[in-house]
Structure 1
Amino acid sequence: MFSSPVSLSRRHLFLAGALGVTALAGLGTAAPAKAADPVWTEEFMTRPETRRGFDVEAMDPWQIDNARFIIAVCASHGVGPEGTKIALITAIVESWLYNFEPAVDHDSGGLFQQRPAMGWGTYDEVRHKRRAIEAFLGVGAHSAPPGLTQLVPHYREWEPGAAAQAVQISAHPDRYSQQLPAADLLWERYAHDVPPVTG
């Protein structure tokens, strides 16, 4: 059960995602930032881990916002389409593009299910979307493990799933490549109008 006001708010966010965007008003919770909003939000989602199939055509506003934010942060570091798609397939597999809170696997959390115990940052840092993305890319000073640009400097020439696995060291490496069609579609839909994150 959730007891604190913060947890209750997160439960409201989960329920709103499950019931539909129109439920937001009834729950008394502000909607996440839309694509045109100038400020990216740091909203958390609470939901059980699931292995159901990811459907790019059934993404809710939180998933869309997070996909766009990954594209924006990657653009700010000049990663390009290949690296951005690697980040997208990783976040799809690890979190279904939700910013998981609390941990669903040991102490892991956030878009990339990064573990504080493994040096990826503090509890809050792995759940801070920009820091999590930058840690995955290997450009986050708060994170000790090497990221994509360090482990796979020639990632543009790699098979995307293999590049993702080099960073994540997953027990299920085959899952990343399966999401490449979804990442391709997300890139085609949103990359043209997502500006790089600044500041």
Structure 2
Amino acid sequence: MRSRGRRRGWIVVVAILVAVGAAWFVNVGRHHLPSPPGCTVADPDGGSGSYELTPGQAGNAATIAAVGMQMGMPNHAVTVALATAMQESKLINLAGGDRDSAGLFQQRPSQGWGTYDQVRDPVYAAKTFYQHLEAEPDWTQLSVNDAAQLVQNSGAPSAYAKWEGEARAVAMALTGESPAALSCHDLKLTTPRGSLVDTASAELGTTTLSGPHDPARGWAISAWLVAHANDLGVDRVGFAGHSWTAASGKWTSDASATDLTFHQVGTA
């Protein structure tokens, strides 16, 4: 009887220790876990709110915006394209979807949007979306939702409207209309996974990134660099009296930053 009592006592003690350990993890330990990488887009209206993206989503949004700028599309078109991709794929380059839909815009090869590999190429997919949008009469006079629906012919024709606020904020950050509005934090930068020269050439249409720029262009390139920082290993960007570093994860005042400069991990 004494042996059984002692065993029960030990069981109670172990159970208490387990409970205490679990409570410590929930209340203390979890606060010491590293924050996941992410990107933040500030409210363009100056409010306290913001929009959160993963680095992958930010990179895809930057690609969509850059292709639009390269094609000479107005900022409204970038907002329409981003709202469309937010609804169709959550800015994730999906391998599949409804029927044969794929990619950021869920374009269908069977409907003449291109081959499967083409619609999975973010640059091709964005360019094709803009071409279809531009071909629609009077699209510039339409709301974001209605312009998107003209291109997509969705079975949920009003679904794009709910993304207008976020798409507008992201578009303003990526086209340079909102300076220093996009920042990425807690990045785990390693050797670049892609070529900055090739990516800039394909998306921005130029490899001349550093140097003097007019404000909108300089901020657009700066935002593009930050949004792609995780893939291209960019750890510092400076422009127009501000600088962003991967270490700080935010833009700060920097009087030494005048012309656009940036630095990649592993370069001199």
User: Is TM more than 0.5 here?
Assistant: yes
Amino acid at match of 2:133: L
Q: Distance in 2 between matches of 1:58 and 1:133?
A: 22
Q: Would you say 1:151 and 2:145 are equivalent positions?
A: no
Q: Distance in 1 between matches of 2:105 and 2:73?
A: 17
In 2, the alpha carbon distance for the partners of 1:187 and 1:135 equals 18
Which amino acid is the alignment partner of residue 198 of structure 1? G
Q: Provide the C-alpha distance between the structure 1 equivalents of 2:173 and 2:76, rounded to a whole number of angstroms.
A: 15
Residue of structure 1 equivalent to 2:69: 75
Q: Give the equivalent residue in structure 2 for 1:98.
A: 92
Confirm or deny that 1:180 pairs with 2:187. Answer: no
TM-score under structure 2 length normalisation: 0.48
8 Å CA contact retained: 2:75, 2:172: no
**Which secondary structure does the structure 2 equivalent of 1:58 belong to?**
strand
How many residues are paired up?
A: 140
Contact 1:83 1:155 survives alignment (8 Å): no
Q: State the secondary structure of the residue aligned to 2:155.
A: coil
Q: Distance in 2 between matches of 1:160 and 1:183?
A: 9
Alignment root-mean-square deviation, CA: 2.5
Which deviates the most, 82-91 or 189-198? 189-198
User: Do residues 121 (structure 1) and 91 (structure 2) align?
Assistant: no
Q: Hey, which bits of structure 1, 4+ residues long, moved more than 3 A? A: 19-22, 193-196
Instruction: Name the CA distance, whole Å, in 1 between partners of 2:68 and 2:166.
Output: 17
CA distance in 2, matches of 1:58, 1:86: 19
Structure 1 gaps, min length 5: 1-18, 23-33, 35-55, 139-146
How far apart, CA to CA, are the structure 1 residues paired with 2:107 and 2:165? 24
- What per-residue deviation string (whole Å, max 9, x for no partner) do you get for residues 41-95 of structure 1? xxxxxxxxxxxxxxx7231001011111111000001111111111011001001
Higher strand share: 2
User: What is the Cα deviation at residue 160 of structure 1?
Assistant: 1.5
8 A contact 1:161–1:174 mirrored in 2: yes
Higher Cα Rg, which structure? 2
Match of 1:132 in 2: 125
Residue 176 of structure 2 corresponds to residue 169 of structure 1:
no
Which ranges in structure 2 are unaligned for 5 or more consecutive residues? Answer: 1-34, 40-49, 183-199, 207-268
Q: How does 1:21-36 map to 2 (within 5 A)?
A: 21=37
Q: Which residue of 2 aligns with 1:51?
A: none
Contact 2:51–2:166 (8 Å) recurs in 1: no
| Cα pair 1:126 1:132 within 8 Å, conserved | yes
1:198 aligns with 2:205: yes
CA drift of 1:171 comes to: 0.5
> Once the two structures are superposed, what CA deviation does each residue of 1:89-142 show, in whole Å capped at 9, x if it has no partner?
1001001011111x121111111000111110101000001110111111xxxx
Contact 1:82 1:155 in 2 (8 A): no
